[in-house]
A and B are shown apart, each in its own frame.
Chain A
Amino acid sequence: MRNREWIVLFIFVAVSIATSNAIGYKTPIGKSLPGILILCGIAFVAVILDKVLPIKLPMIMYCSILGLIIASPISPVAKIVIESTAKIDFAAPLSIVGAFAGISMGKNYKDFTKQGWKMVIIALVVFTGIFIGSATVGHIILKLTKAI
């Protein structure tokens, strides 16, 4: 996508997040605006980095790493970034993600019903096993390293 397309889409997403945060979490749009601009601004920088840097990492990774650096103790703007983005409930940006994901899943409905019960059982066993496995290892290591 061209940078201009990203900008237009991020503006739409920003408006959506402001709307969700206002309706779902009762934060006036004016109050959530600085935080939303920071989130979408950093996401746009991630898009640019993904295009210009020679290392091939998923764009999402740059979002995460940039957010981490900008809010870390070494960053001079950490305080203002953390304070303004704290006004946005962490679930508010998810409503629009769900809407887009739902629309894109519409085309998979037939495939999904065709997969059959066997694959559904295997999928649920895989998901459950991985969740419990990760929680078990995480819990043990947290105990061993005295983090909990």
Chain B
Amino acid sequence: MEEYKYSSIKERLKKEYRIYIAAFLIIVISDLIGQHKIPIGPGVLVIFPIFYGLIGGTLLGPDLLKFFKKEESEAASPLVLVAIAPFIVKLGIMAGGNLSQLASMGPALLLQELGNLGTIFISLPLAMMLGLKREAVGATHSINRETNLALISNVYGPDSDEMRGTLSIYIIGGALGTIFFGFLATLVASIGLFHPFALAMASGAGSGIMMASAATSLSHIYPEYADKIVMLAGASNTLTGITGIYASLFLALPLANKLYSILDPVINKKREEETYEK
């Protein structure tokens, strides 16, 4: 049987009503401010109402302005899932309406998951040089969203070093990922090397909210492809949700572990000797 957090709807509303009122005021203000474009270097930082909400909500939280208590902040996590569900349905509908085109891009959508693997060769050595040990494997094996938390906690245990690494990237991704992904998408687009469809697929790598941010930014840069970009990003995000866990378990984790065992004698032993000499 499912456990219920509240004994009734009334109790839920009584405990959470401040969240709903504040959230509603936030969206009214956010949508009134609207979208803005700020050019930074070769990229464009496109600021959407979603960002004002992210920043405003955090500011009101228990660590800063203290409008929300810790319990309220915790109670808002499951509400994110409720709010994002209609958005994901909308992406599904866009995909269903463009099914033939989606099928023609099927191979690319499936295989782009492999693009995640290349980054391990850069990020893992960097993490080890910065002094991380087994945390590095957790931190760099994937983009570290919800599915990866579940996977790593399953494979290494919730108190493991690997889990600490995964969790760190997960938290930073939650705090910075949405804004960073939106900006990153426009920055990479400005290089002009990639087709907008390839960029759209790459936007699907992270969480739903990161994908939304990157896809919305891209659709501002390529308005003529806007609908297709959002549709492809959504399809890629759904597929990553299905295939990502297998790619992590059977490809990325073994690769990260192998690389760690090769680099460990080089980087960590050298560091220990240096510390010893001091």
CA distance A23 to B28 in the complex (A): 7
Restricting to B95-110, which residues have a CB under 8 Å from any CB of A? 95-97, 99, 104-105, 107-109
Asked if A107 meets B61 with Cβ closer than 8 Å, knowing A60-B208, A67-B90, A102-B53, the reply is: yes
What 0/1 pattern do residues 64 to 91 of A give for CB contact below 8 A with B? 1111111111010010011001001011
A78 contacts B97, C-beta separation under 8 Å: yes
B74 to chain A, nearest CB (A): 6
Q: Counting CB contacts under 8 A, is A48 at the interface?
A: no
Asked if A64 meets B89 with Cβ closer than 8 Å, knowing A8-B9, A115-B168, the reply is: yes
A102 contacts B93, C-beta separation under 8 Å: no
CA distance A139 to B140 in the complex (A): 23
CA distance A59 to B230 in the complex (A): 20
Asked if A71 meets B97 with Cβ closer than 8 Å, knowing A90-B230, A91-B48, the reply is: yes
Question: Chain A interface: which of B36-44, B151-159, B181-189, B268-276?
Answer: B181-189
Interface of B, helix, strand, loop or mixed by DSSP:
helix
A82 contacts B188, C-beta separation under 8 Å: no
Within 8 Å by CB of B90, from A65, A93, A134, lies A93
Q: How many residues of chain B get a CB closer than 8 Å to chain A's CBs?
A: 130
CA distance A136 to B195 in the complex (A): 10
Q: Which residue of A lies closest to B241 (CB)?
A: A61
B139 contacts A16, C-beta separation under 8 Å: no
Within 8 Å by CB of B115, from A67, A97, A108, A138, lies A138
Q: Which residue of A lies closest to B57 (CB)?
A: A102
Q: Which residue of B lies closest to A75 (CB)?
A: B96
Looking at B20, B93, B132, the one whose CB has the most chain A CB atoms below 10 A away is B93
Chain A interface category by residue count: 35 or more
CA distance A123 to B138 in the complex (A): 11
Chain B positions within 8 Å of A42 at CB level:
86, 89, 92
B241 contacts A10, C-beta separation under 8 Å: no
Q: Which residue of A lies closest to B130 (CB)?
A: A118
Chain B positions within 8 Å of A10 at CB level:
82, 85-86
CA distance A5 to B12 in the complex (A): 8
Chain A positions within 8 Å of B234 at CB level:
64
A66 contacts B92, C-beta separation under 8 Å: yes
Asked if A88 meets B90 with Cβ closer than 8 Å, knowing A58-B241, A64-B238, the reply is: yes
CA distance A123 to B139 in the complex (A): 8
Chain A positions within 8 Å of B262 at CB level:
none
B60 to chain A, nearest CB (A): 6
Q: Counting CB contacts under 8 A, is A33 at the interface?
A: no
Q: Counting CB contacts under 8 A, is B223 at the interface?
A: no
A97 contacts B80, C-beta separation under 8 Å: yes
Within 8 Å by CB of A129, from B34, B50, B53, B122, lies B122
Chain A positions within 8 Å of B108 at CB level:
137-138, 141-142, 145, 147
What 0/1 pattern do residues 148 to 189 of B give for CB contact below 8 A with A? 000000000000000000001101111111101100110010
Chain B positions within 8 Å of A142 at CB level:
105, 108, 195, 197-198
A122 contacts B127, C-beta separation under 8 Å: yes
Asked if A81 meets B202 with Cβ closer than 8 Å, knowing A99-B57, A122-B169, A147-B105, the reply is: no
A105 contacts B85, C-beta separation under 8 Å: no
Within 8 Å by CB of A16, from B23, B58, B175, B178, lies B23
Asked if A67 meets B93 with Cβ closer than 8 Å, knowing A91-B216, A104-B57, A127-B177, the reply is: yes
Asked if A108 meets B175 with Cβ closer than 8 Å, knowing A102-B54, A136-B194, A142-B197, the reply is: yes
CA distance A135 to B136 in the complex (A): 24
Can you show 17 pairs from A to B with CB atoms below 8 A apart?
Answer: A40-B85, A43-B86, A46-B89, A59-B81, A60-B208, A82-B96, A93-B86, A94-B49, A96-B23, A99-B57, A104-B76, A106-B63, A106-B73, A122-B169, A125-B119, A129-B119, A133-B114
6 closest A-B pairs by beta carbon, nearest first, are A106-B61, A102-B57, A67-B92, A129-B119, A98-B53, A71-B96
